[in-house]
Structure 1
Amino acid sequence: MAHYDVAVVGLGVLGSGAAYYAAQKGAKVIAFEQFELGHVRGASHDTSRIVRTSNFSPELVALAKSAYQDWAELEKASGQKLLTITGGLVFFPDEPGTPALARDFTTSLDQNGVPHELLDSRQVRERWPQFELPEAVSTVYTADSGIAHASRTVGALQALARAHGAILREQTRVVRIVPRSANDRRTVIIHTSKGQFQAYKVILATDAWTDRLLSPLGTHIPVTIMQEQVTYFKPTDASKFEPDRFPVWIWNGATCFYGFPCYGEPTIKAARDTSNNFMTPEQRTYVHSPQLLGELSAFMNNLIPDESRQPLRTVTCQYTITPERRFVISPLELHPEIIVGLGAAHAFKFAPAFGRVLAELAVDGFTKEDISQFGIPVSAGDRSKL
């Protein structure tokens, strides 16, 4: 049975990052992906993700600042341009059910020294006339926001992992992981569809499939899983939406939407966040919802009017949501040789830092990043035992 320092389960962006950074540290690494590399069954495919330092939580702003340094180093190591900085707008409408105000959002930016501007609707329309904002909307602008190329990032991390000696095994499903003690040292037996392996540390970056491996170990992370979708629209005049003329944006209303400028093609991309289209990975249809597309199109018609704009294609993805959408970056309490990484469907912007921290926990046993808020959440069943 082959023995490794670190085994990574799941090769989306977080697992690929963990494999790269662990191998970069000199660890003997093996990583498993149950599907083909670059598959569309999870949450790391397609072209673009928003990157930003702006966030409600001070600890996420701090991690995002670290991630920007990691992004720069990753671009240098891979020789690829992975980020496109466009600036970013977060809209806060004054409407019933709105979860927060702009001043709540800027507090965490001030605490972390992130430059930003607070704009009224008139100022937004003057600078970006593509938007038709109601008067009662406050807007936070951060110049460092932009776009990460999703599939290119995953591929770059996997290539770098291999370049540093990691073995990546696709089409290899991990059936179970069994901790054990041998010669006074903890180790883990990894049972896969293609044989057994051993590792001193195991990183689970398995998203919607995490609980299947944790439940036999007596740990349950209460997650909800849903199929989401993004739509690419063809604007009448694509030149108005080039990245140097149009920013990424987020509508932080009772229902949240977000969108992108043109990126690699003359289309703009937009979506609703958390549409609550609940299902399991086995129940996913990969067929988009016409109702959600209709809701998105109606919203876009109001926010970014364009009578001749047409939807070209809609792509589905999978959200795995933890309680309060908090990250999980933590060893198991009873089995510290097993480390869990869950991104709660908003981790891509942090991906290099997220993967690096997982690798640091596995190889070094500690990280300098503040992950104190990212422990294993207590499920309702576990809470009743406290």
Structure 2
Amino acid sequence: MAGQIYAGHSRCYDAIVVGAGIQGLFAAYQLAKRGQKTLLLEQFPLPHTRGSSQGQSRIIRSAYPQDYYILMMGEAYRLWAALEAEAGVKLYRPTPMLVLGHQENPKFQNYRQSIERHHIPSEAFTPQALAQKFSGFYPHGGEMAVSDLSAGVLYANKALQAVQDQFQRQGGTVHDGEKVLNILPGALVTVSTSQGEYQAKRLVVTAGPWTNRLLAPLGLQLPLQPLRISVCYWKAKGQGHGSHRSLEQFPCFLSAGLSGHAHDVYGLPSDEYPGLVKICYHHGSPVDPDQPDQLGHASAVPDVRILQDFVRKYLPGLEPEPAVQERCLYTNTPDEDFVLDRHPRFRNIIIGAGFSGHGFKFAPVIGKILCELSLGEEPFYNLAPFQISRFSTPSKANL
């Protein structure tokens, strides 16, 4: 039963992880693999749709403008493959991803140059070749594309379950439906929940949009902005029995600096709903994660209208109205880079946050990094882009 504590269960652990999204699951799994007696706490009954990790699909890709992300993805692919082999579950399918943009656009050029610099398997398309190879795309503004041939689709919900299963097979303990109420720092961290009290030598906080509520009593507030994202699915015009197959072969894509769009639009082939493609705007509306359906009208981003405009211009073979609308939560940092760091004062409290809508693919590496930080080790990667100190005015009232 969710959140139930059984008689005789220990309340003292080597490590506690708060938050059972994909990042917390991988952190707990890595800790358990390292021989740490680990408790994973989740405030909602599992599985749930209240956070950022749920859903059927996510894009996995090597293509990034930033070198540090590309370097992390090399290991991420290997760790995803290792999890597939260990769990005996298919978690990924290869699908080329197109980066769309104007030849002269700096953002598009950053993608193209990084792909070339890191020798990512790719192919460049002129506007004419793009329209010929991928008949669904209409580069109405003369856009070209470069493909990431290492890309694909991750099966998100299957991945969540696979990591949880492997964590428990390593001896890890999951308590879901159990909300954390208070964290008392010390050589042994004390975590009070709706069901009881636990102690551990180290704590990892991966609580998504609820992160600052846990950090505030510890004298730290990060510049995290929860956003509600519209996840939209679209069907082909005049869709018949034969069109399902063509949409299943639809590539992943990511727009990079298209005129009239401040943020990226991205898409995935038919998967969740047969005959529908997933197309979303990489931005949303500020929201209280406990009341995700309540939006302030003044702050609401008209993301569905932006998507309708994009579909009308670039994918005219799709219906102009989404067939299905769902929602997801992002937790954004100002620079959209992650937070992977120790608490500035309490060094046995580790924070993984601000994954800004693009962290799922990195989760195996992020979990390993959080594990290493909690064990007092220095990870292989340069973590300067992810350190708390990069923010100019973090709240340190009690530090």
* Residue aligning to 1:262: 270
* Residue aligning to 1:323: 334
Q: Distance in 2 between matches of 1:250 and 1:18?
A: 29
Give the Å deviation of 1:283.
3.0
8 Å contact kept, 2:122–2:149 = yes
SS in 1 for 2:43: coil
Q: Distance in 1 between matches of 2:337 and 2:301?
A: 30
Give the Å deviation of 1:5.
1.0
Q: How does 1:138-153 map to 2 (within 5 A)?
A: 138-153=144-159
* Residue aligning to 1:2: 11
* Residue aligning to 1:353: 365
Q: In terms of mean alpha carbon deviation, does 79-88 or 115-124 score higher? A: 115-124
Q: How does 1:93-242 map to 2 (within 5 A)?
A: 93=102, 100-180=106-186, 186-235=187-236, 236=239, 237-242=243-248
Q: Distance in 2 between matches of 1:157 and 1:306?
A: 38
Could you tell me the percent identity over the aligned residues? 28
Q: CA RMSD in A?
A: 2.3
Give the Å deviation of 1:150.
0.9
* Residue aligning to 1:278: 286
Q: Distance in 1 between matches of 2:391 and 2:66?
A: 22
1:64 to 50, 73, 92: 73
Aligned residue pair count: 373
Q: Distance in 2 between matches of 1:274 and 1:290?
A: 8
8 Å contact kept, 1:3–1:197 = yes
Q: Which has the higher contact order (CA 8 A, sep 6+)?
A: 1
Q: Distance in 2 between matches of 1:308 and 1:383?
A: 47
TM-score (structure 1 length as normaliser): 0.90
Give the Å deviation of 1:47.
0.6
Give the Å deviation of 1:170.
0.2
Give the Å deviation of 1:380.
5.1
In structure 2, the gaps of 5 or more residues are 1-9
TM-score (structure 2 length as normaliser): 0.88
Residue 375 in 1 paired to residue 376 in 2?
no
Q: Distance in 2 between matches of 1:251 and 1:86?
A: 16
Q: Distance in 2 between matches of 1:307 and 1:360?
A: 46
Give the Å deviation of 1:124.
1.1
Q: Distance in 1 between matches of 2:115 and 2:41?
A: 38
8 Å contact kept, 2:130–2:144 = no
Q: Distance in 1 between matches of 2:214 and 2:319?
A: 49
SS in 2 for 1:147: strand
Give the Å deviation of 1:377.
4.6
AA at the equivalent of 1:321: N
* Residue aligning to 1:22: 31
8 Å contact kept, 2:311–2:318 = no
AA at the equivalent of 2:32: A
Q: Distance in 1 between matches of 2:347 and 2:189?
A: 11
8 Å contact kept, 2:138–2:314 = yes
Per the alignment, do residues 336 and 364 of structure 1 end up closer, same or farther by CA in structure 2, a change over 3 Å counting?
Answer: closer
Residue 246 in 1 paired to residue 230 in 2?
no
